[in-house]
Structure 1
């Protein structure tokens, strides 16, 4: 142990410094880049090597055409959020499920699934669902834990269900097809949504006072026949989802081209609903720029951090830690999943993806799980397992961003302790979904194999 600590002292110090720096509240992008430069000098790394860091950033990261899909998908999600589609769909779903206990919560979960396949923006989804559904649920008498939990969990489905920004970045990091990742993530994402709905219905059946029935007069305010209302409110999102995901899965368009189709489609949808004006376009463009810049800065900082970390022996340290356990392939996979789950309490999914994945992916790629998969197939399966795992990072305290988005819109009506308690069942459900995809790889790999 002493020999291990002395050999990898600087690499361990980088990890500890990163965790300590995160707790200080310093911007993560600058923290990652700053630690990379600082430890390059501490480790007496030659200055010419730092030039390769710049080459890696500008020649390998920023010039990646796949990253163009990120601002396009962000813009698509923001325009959809402002088009009023979600509000109309929630009211219609409430009419559909308003006669059963927990019907409004189920409507929120279904809306989360539909909007996840249309937007993929976590902050926008959680805020939108919270503003639309939380006041109604509390007024209807829902228990605060159930109302907050379903809003936070359903809003995070967009990070897994394609088109997902996280899957775009993972494809770039792992050098696997983003289209394959989109296909592989679809069933696990729907599985999580189904688990949420099953939990809500069972809980409402056991404890009906947690999810009381709605007042019929408040549900049936729309006089449009229900089938026509469902068709009207689902048609726009369905066509957009079909245009984006269908073009990717059919091999007609690359993810970047499909993102452009989605951005144009969201503009046309906003125009059709008469919600497109200068202010909406300006706000969506500004928020797209801000979100894309934040992601890009973190990518640049994480690249600097990981390059220096590897130069100091960090990749060999991780490999020694993983392979030195004596565990089999599945034991090592469980160990990595546990590590990522714990890191999710403190780090964002972008940092984990860019710092951890490049270190552990080569180890996982060489493992024999007895599934008869190619190295690319193993990486696709592994990426989806990591994506499901990272979805919990939005919900787990102390830095679960979905929790703080939700807290920000409650205006003091709900305590942070209540919000923390509300997400516990949904974190367990996500871990159940992760376990199912780990035990039954066909849940992940069946659709890519079928379509290809």
Structure 2
């Protein structure tokens, strides 16, 4: 066989395995082992995979942050912070057109900065907000699209599990990624707010005001809102602030966040300790899923590179007579298409290692460290759309499972389309203005 045929066959078998419904982790590892034997690689070669799994994953101190941040997010979900915040904001903003939608966005940003767990955020916002918006007469499409899009902000706004995996895969400081993601995350949240403000101004019938049923005065409402905001904001400042000032690594900061979330949640649970056990079980399941995919991806990439797959892809892109920005646009387009069908974990662990050497080899007119940071955040922002794009956007299925009667999957699909366009707008802004990703890490941490 030609040198290029083996890696092409590996990719074909991998895609067939994934779409057949088998576990992605086992498909990755199985494809790697299968082609190691079919291509007649030395049996001892696979022992390198065992060594990489041990040194690169099982003993990787950085990856301890994954279960800690998952645990932190799930514990905060049980603390009732989001429900209390939404109630306070609804009292304050609800009586104006679109006011409840603004409240949902604010809660989504706060929860994203506090948890980073997409499934939990979408389900929580859906259970809290959709019934109220339905009762108030909100458009089903607008309300479902808003909840789905806002719930996915946690994949970008730190602390984010995706950014941890990106940092580990690309060998970039996770602290720099966390700080670099602040502006893109806020820009995306700002675009959501601008879109809702435009709807409230020009089509107020789609988002009518809530009735004034609360007797609390303005001052009392503000006090309650500030009280509800203190706990999550202190937690976010403790986690991110400890990284920025250099007194804690991301893993140690995750431990701080886990302890803080435990204190908040246990105070709110008031003896319901069975919920603590449920959080531990959910944390274990999520962590095991991610780690097993990482183990499978290690075996797959090892064999794929040995059979010339990395050289094949690198030659295909670098052989094009186009500008570096054209190459990165092509990569972003490919990632967007993959996001229509695959989950972010799969894309990150399979595709990202293949594209990283291309970015390293290209000259974007900025230092290589900054270019890798910029590319990582472009990648993360692009993958955020994978949660919303039909037919396999996970946020759409999360929302469909808990939506009130009357909400159809068609309503949800149509509702997310404007928000997908807003995400692509943010992606273009970041693409043409790399400083949005690199300036803050340089300023606060002195590195790209």
Query: CA 1:224–1:30 in 2, change beyond 3 Å: closer, same or farther?
Result: farther
Q: Does 1:311 align with 2:317?
A: no
Matched-pair contact (CA < 8 Å) for 1:126–1:405: yes
Q: How much has 1:441 moved relative to structure 2? A: 1.2
Q: How much has 1:157 moved relative to structure 2? A: 0.5
Structure 1 residue ranges (4+ consecutive) displaced by more than 6 angstroms after TM superposition: 221-224
1:45-444 alignment, distance < 5 Å = 45-217=41-213, 225-275=220-270, 277-371=272-366, 373=367, 375-410=368-403, 413-444=406-437
**Which residue of the partner structure matches residue 30 of structure 1?**
26
Q: How much has 1:274 moved relative to structure 2? A: 4.7
Q: How much has 1:215 moved relative to structure 2? A: 1.0
Q: Deviations over 1:295-315 (max 9, x none)?
A: 011111111111111111110
Matched-pair contact (CA < 8 Å) for 2:78–2:269: no
Q: How much has 1:191 moved relative to structure 2? A: 0.7
Matched-pair contact (CA < 8 Å) for 2:314–2:357: no
With 268-277 and 311-320 compared, the bigger mean Cα shift is at 268-277
Q: Deviations over 1:233-273 (max 9, x none)?
A: 10010110111011111111000000000000001112343
Q: Deviations over 1:107-165 (max 9, x none)?
A: 11110000000000001000000010011111111111111111111111001000000
**Count, aligned residues:** 445
Query: CA 1:50–1:95 in 2, change beyond 3 Å: closer, same or farther?
Result: same
Query: CA 1:310–1:419 in 2, change beyond 3 Å: closer, same or farther?
Result: same
Query: CA 1:115–1:301 in 2, change beyond 3 Å: closer, same or farther?
Result: same
Q: How much has 1:210 moved relative to structure 2? A: 1.0
Query: Any unmatched runs of 5+ in structure 1?
Result: none
Q: Deviations over 1:399-452 (max 9, x none)?
A: 211111001112653211221111111111111001101111111111101102
Q: How much has 1:278 moved relative to structure 2? A: 1.3
Matched-pair contact (CA < 8 Å) for 2:95–2:211: no
Matched-pair contact (CA < 8 Å) for 2:102–2:193: yes
Matched-pair contact (CA < 8 Å) for 1:95–1:220: no
With 207-216 and 265-274 compared, the bigger mean Cα shift is at 265-274
Q: Deviations over 1:172-219 (max 9, x none)?
A: 1111110000000011001100101111110222211111111111x5
Q: TM-score, normalised by structure 1?
A: 0.95
Matched-pair contact (CA < 8 Å) for 1:83–1:276: no
SS of aligned partner of 2:192: helix
Q: TM-score, normalised by structure 2?
A: 0.96
SS of aligned partner of 1:7: coil
Q: How much has 1:275 moved relative to structure 2? A: 4.4
State how far apart, in whole Å, the 1-side matches of 2:270 and 2:365 are: 53
Matched-pair contact (CA < 8 Å) for 2:340–2:391: yes
State how far apart, in whole Å, the 2-side matches of 1:145 and 1:29 are: 35
State how far apart, in whole Å, the 2-side matches of 1:280 and 1:310 are: 45
Q: How much has 1:73 moved relative to structure 2? A: 0.4
State how far apart, in whole Å, the 2-side matches of 1:50 and 1:94 are: 58
SS of aligned partner of 1:142: coil
Query: CA 1:305–1:411 in 2, change beyond 3 Å: closer, same or farther?
Result: farther
State how far apart, in whole Å, the 1-side matches of 2:271 and 2:321 are: 59
